[in-house]
Structure 1
Amino acid sequence: MESYLLTEQDRSTLQSKVTNKLREVILTGHFNMGDRLVQEEWADKLGVSRMPIREALVQLEKEGLVRIEPRRGAIVTPISVEDIKEIYQLRVLLEGEAVERALPYIEEEDIKELSRLDSMMRSLGNTEEDVEIYMRLNIEFHHILRRGCPWRRIHDMIDTLWKGIPPYTPSLLADHLEETHKEHGLMIEGIKQRDAKKLRKVIERHILRTRDNLIEVILEAEKETNRSGSKDF
């Protein structure tokens, strides 16, 4: 039986840890569509009270991973491989367009901030706390890349696509962060060169590579679950 019990160090950032644990088990295939995620059971599994479980479920509902129903509680609605393909293909189309249109509005201060964020991300290790910091920095990095785009609606659409999996992929793809560092460096280089086509190409390749890595992780987790023949925790 796999243990999900949190350590004392984990408890220092309890809410975030609980949310990450529940997100991870949903994304890696431990639940089927329509399964109930019972608060009392997961409080026992993680060694916490029900309060952080309830708060985590509120966040996971916003991400589309659970649905809270009266009298039934949290119903799992895991994101499928097809969902991943849809989200990331739309990101390619929209973010590629947005960063290309944002480039004329990116100023020297923005470039300095992107470089600072890039350096900070490269300096982080692979602990859970480091990965959480990385996720926040990565969100800010991508926001700066496109915030100068004058098209208001494209921002709304991209923000919708980011409400779910994209912000949390570093926690699932820690083995691929070196590739991400290289791609971030190429993005900054494209900006400095004022090469819109190069910047767009790097962004699109970055999104598609992340998509493929994420699908690989999900499929491998499904295989592991099938080999074990059980969803016991």
Structure 2
Amino acid sequence: MNSFDMMTKSPSTLVPVDVTTVQERVYQSLRLGLLKGEFLPGEQVSIRSLAEVFGTSPMPVREAVARLIAERAIEQTGPRTLRVAPYLASDHENYIRVRMQLEGYAAERAASGPKNPELIDVLRRHNDSIAKALERNDFDAALAGNQAFHFELYRAGGYPQLLDIISTLWLRTGPIVASARKDEDMFRRIFKIGVRIHDDAIDAVAQRDRAAARRAINLDIRSSHLSIRRFYKQLSSRPAVTGE
């Protein structure tokens, strides 16, 4: 019996091959970072530095970044310079209006399905994780918990195409929400209000109240947007400090 015959007779010992490309893994990691607010609006990024972080050659990073440029989450500002899409008040207002329509609908769909106690438990755990993160001033964990809560809810709507569109919009607004960390009091206030509104959304889904679920999610999006808009107005009115 040759070695090939021996291998074919013990398939249970073989390890499944990961067919995911390096470029795809880099893309998904960058995408998740944008969704969770690990990058800030206008932040400069470079292919070389990202490649060092991921431990890859520049090529897969360049390909992943090209996809994010097409999705308008990252901008090419020069031959070799890139930045996360900056905050523009008019653009952000439009994104918020679209998000309210799409995410409100996704929440409606989640509330219109059959009763799902497991979903309610998972949503409550995500929401509790936000509250606990705020207590220990772990703002990164609060952002991650918020992202997990929303996408768990929207995934329950059973409409993957809608989830894809919402995810793309979050790529453009996630860094903007994360920028509120510069004002810790405001950030904490936004997310404490969000936790209470999330409780209302969870109750609405549990009671299969579609209108209440949409209303809660829309209020959550709008209330955080208004706070962030005030934050950026105050930021723009401050005098520039040399070396800041």
TM-score above 0.5, yes or no: yes
Q: Per the alignment, do residues 113 and 161 of structure 1 end up closer, same or farther by CA in structure 2, a change over 3 Å counting?
A: same
CA RMSD of aligned residues (A): 3.4
**1:136 equivalenced with 2:134 (yes/no):** no
In the alignment, residue 222 of structure 1 is paired with which amino acid? S
Cα distance, 1:232 vs structure 2: 3.9
**1:98 equivalenced with 2:138 (yes/no):** no
**1:189 equivalenced with 2:197 (yes/no):** no
Distance 1:20 1:197 in 2: 29
Instruction: State the partner residue of 1:123.
Output: 132
Larger radius of gyration: 2
Instruction: State the partner residue of 2:170.
Output: 162
Instruction: State the partner residue of 1:33.
Output: none
Distance 1:79 1:165 in 2: 9
Distance 1:21 1:159 in 2: 15
Instruction: State the partner residue of 2:91.
Output: 83
Contact 2:104/2:218, CA 8 A, preserved across alignment? yes
SS of structure 1 residue aligned to 2:157: coil
**1:222 equivalenced with 2:236 (yes/no):** yes
| Paired-residue identity, % | 21
Distance 1:101 1:223 in 2: 42
Instruction: State the partner residue of 1:44.
Output: none
Instruction: State the partner residue of 1:51.
Output: 49
Instruction: State the partner residue of 1:176.
Output: 190
Distance 1:81 1:22 in 2: 18
Contact 1:106/1:148, CA 8 A, preserved across alignment? no
Runs of 5+ consecutive residues of structure 1 not aligned to the other structure: 1-15, 28-36, 40-49
SS of structure 1 residue aligned to 2:40: helix
Q: Per the alignment, do residues 124 and 96 of structure 1 end up closer, same or farther by CA in structure 2, a change over 3 Å counting?
A: same
Larger mean CA deviation between 61-70 and 205-214 belongs to 61-70
Distance 2:40 2:146 in 1: 19
- Once the two structures are superposed, residues 13-57 of structure 1 have per-residue CA deviations (whole angstroms, 9 ceiling, x without a partner) of xxx8xx979626x38xxxxxxxxx597xxxxxxxxxx83697699
Contact 1:69/1:75, CA 8 A, preserved across alignment? no
When normalised by structure 1's length, the TM-score is 0.68
**1:199 equivalenced with 2:213 (yes/no):** yes
Distance 1:21 1:87 in 2: 19
In the alignment, residue 85 of structure 1 is paired with which amino acid? E
Tell me the number of residue pairs that the alignment of Structure 1 and Structure 2 aligns.
191
SS of structure 2 residue aligned to 1:23: coil
Q: Per the alignment, do residues 141 and 106 of structure 1 end up closer, same or farther by CA in structure 2, a change over 3 Å counting?
A: farther
Instruction: State the partner residue of 1:23.
Output: 40
**1:149 equivalenced with 2:166 (yes/no):** no
In the alignment, residue 119 of structure 1 is paired with which amino acid? D
Divergent runs of 4+, >6 A:
19-22, 56-61
Instruction: State the partner residue of 2:118.
Output: 109
Distance 2:189 2:100 in 1: 22
Distance 1:143 1:106 in 2: 18
Q: Per the alignment, do residues 108 and 67 of structure 1 end up closer, same or farther by CA in structure 2, a change over 3 Å counting?
A: same
SS of structure 2 residue aligned to 1:199: helix
When normalised by structure 2's length, the TM-score is 0.65
